[in-house]
Each structure stands twice: as structure tokens, then as C-alpha cells.
Amino acid sequence: MHEFSLAVEVINLAQREAEKSNAREIKEITIEVGDLSGVEADAFGSALDLLVKDSILDHAVVNIHKMPGKGKCAACNLEFEMTHRMAACPKCRCFPSEINGGDQFRVVSLLVE
């Protein structure tokens, strides 16, 4: 379960950023998890919930935003939402030639005090 190790890294990143700002506490953190990122958002959230105790994120509001996958059809150029990498175009059933979103996993913002 790599979500556990990702949760550890997010806590470490938050700690480093808090130290850079001489912050005592992080009030809020926002994380984007794309449907095509290979990260299960619910499992990541559960892992983070288990690990934040006594960390810089212990009292933080944690916002995890699931981002839909987006592809562009190779045949008809339709842009469509994808829930998995092998999703076919809803119009012509061809596979996408491009992935245009939903493959990210990133910390978007930290609100420090």
C-alpha cells in the first residue's frame, strides 16, 4: 500500500515547509489526487488520518480533492472524463491519444500559523 508511504512524505513535506516559515502549526492542507494518478484517494486519506497524530498536521484541516481524469480521443478529438487509463471515448469507443488531467498527486496549499 504505497498510500501509506505517500502520507508519510506529505507529513514530511509539511514539516519542512513549516520550518522554512518558522511556523508553529499548520492550520490547513489541500491535496489533489487525480483519478489516473495511481493513488487511491480514500486509502491515502485513511493513511494520513492514522499518521498525523503528534505531527505538524495533527490539528490541521485536511482537504483531499479528487480530480477527474481527462482524455482526448485519438479518432474524433472529443475531450472526455476518464475514471481509469483504459477508458474509451464515449462517442466512438477509441482510446485517448492524450491524457490532459487527473494524473496528478500534489500538495496544493498549506495554511501555516
pLDDT digits (tens, 9 = 90+) for 56-112: 999 999 999 999 999 999 899 999 999 888 899 999 999 998 999 999 999 999 999
Q: At what angle do helices 41-51 and 2-20 cross, to 10 degrees?
A: 60
pTM above the 0.85 mark?
A: yes
Report the DSSP pairing between strands 105-112 and 79-82.
unpaired
Q: Which of 19, 31, 34 minimizes the C-alpha distance to 60?
A: 31
pLDDT band at 1 (very low <50, low <70, confident <90, very high): low
- Structure confidence by residue, pLDDT tens digits, 24-61: 899 999 999 999 999 999 999 999 999 999 999 999 99
Number of C-beta neighbours around residue 50 at 10 A:
10
Model pLDDT, residue 83: 87
Helices within the chain (DSSP H only): 2-20, 41-51
CATH number of the domain encompassing residue 45: 3.30.2320.80
Number of domains the chain contains:
1
Q: Give the structural domain span for 97.
A: 2-112
Residues in the chain: 113
Instruction: List the beta bridge partners of residue 64.
Output: 31
